[in-house]
Every structure is written in C-alpha cells, then in structure tokens.
Amino acid sequence: AKDRFGLELQRLPMPEPLYLEEEERNLPASYANFYIGNKVVLLPVFEDPMDKAAVDIMSSHFPGREIVPIVARELVYGYGGIHCVTQQEPAERG
C-alpha cells in the first residue's frame, strides 16, 4: 500500500500486549519505536514470538544498516522506547 505522497507503507507486527497490573493499563510496546543511526537500526524487541518477523522486515527495509535488537521491556514499563530515550538535547546558547 502507498500513502497519499506515493510512499510505500509497511506493516509491522505487534508483540503480545504488555500490561502493568499495578496501574491497570497497557504498555506502549511497539517495534515502531526504533532509532536509525549511521550504520545501524536499534530495534526494540520484547522476548516475543513476533520479534524475528520485526527484525526480518526491518532488515529488508534498511539493507545498508545492521539491525541491532535490544530487549526493551524495561523501557516500556517507564512508558518509553528506544526512539524516545535518544531524543535530541538542545545546545546551550552562548
């Protein structure tokens, strides 16, 4: 499928839902919260049967980069992900 700009859309699988019982809420576990570096893609994985499919899909879309799976369960317990924790930090003016 393509979007309105003609860009190809790729579906990513979803891991099994992670649930935080103390707060009675689902956690934001998603393979889409990845980070693209110069030679790598840091891909969150969740010790889930769908992890391999996500790695394979990302490998096909980033052929020049190494796909580095990183277990991200602890990050989603804090309501974040790999892309979230790699956000830019502005430089000081001066």
Q: In this structure, what is the dihedral angle of CA atoms 13, 1, 42, 39, given to the nearest 10 degrees?
A: 150
Concerning whether 83 is annotated as a catalytic residue, the answer is no
Ordered DSSP codes for 49-67? TTHHHHHHHHHHH-TTSEE
Catalytic residue among 18, 57, 68, 84: 84
Q: Which residues are catalytic?
A: 84
